[in-house]
Amino acid sequence: MKILGICGSLRQASYNGMALRAARKLAPAGIEVEIADIAGIPMYNDDVRTAGEPAAVARLKAQVRAADAVLLVSPEYNFSVPGVLKNTLDWMSRPPEPPFDGKPVAIMGASGGPLGTARGQYHLRQVLVYMNTFTVNKPEVFIGNAQTKFNAEGELTDETTAKFITDLLVSLQQLATRLR
């Protein structure tokens, strides 16, 4: 099963990027996690879209279509979804053939605070309802106090978090299999 991972942070030392790379390493047999790059996605403008999708948008849409499922890993900015991720999802929700339509999706996020992106994930779920995705409900993966869960090299060191991430990937795989 091919899962496309999308990180909602562009920061090099992002805990969410670290969590996404950990998911790739923790993926059980039969699951491959590919990581997409959203750094080149321009600000959404429907005039641009109608004139022809930018190459970065077309490339990401193709990656989403080719994946069996999507894993969104995102920080929380001001109690909500980071602008860069929301902008990316805005592009992905537009015609022709929005690639998230009917796609199985899982969400997780990491933050330095104790709530681990709970509020941002709630808003992200609202966006995904509009996009007509099938979103994994359990387990919920809120990586709070992320600075204590990764080492200086960006590797996940917390066994409990590793188990939650692995369980989320298995749940996503099961959902995608049921939807086939």
Q: What CATH number should be reported for the domain holding residue 138?
A: 3.40.50.360
Residue 18, pLDDT score? 98
- Average of per-residue pLDDT across 157-174: 98
Please state, for a pLDDT cut of 90, what percent of the chain lies above it: 99
One-character DSSP codes across 21-84 = HHHHHHPPTT-EEEE---TTPPPP-HHHHHH---HHHHHHHHHHHHSSEEEEE---BTTB--HH
- Say how far apart CA 57 and CA 49 lie, in whole Å: 9
Number of domains in the chain: 1
3 state SS for 103-121: CEEEEEEECCCCCCCHHHH
Domain range for 48: 2-179
Which tens digit of pLDDT belongs to each residue from 26-78?
999 999 999 999 999 999 999 999 999 999 999 999 999 999 999 999 999 99
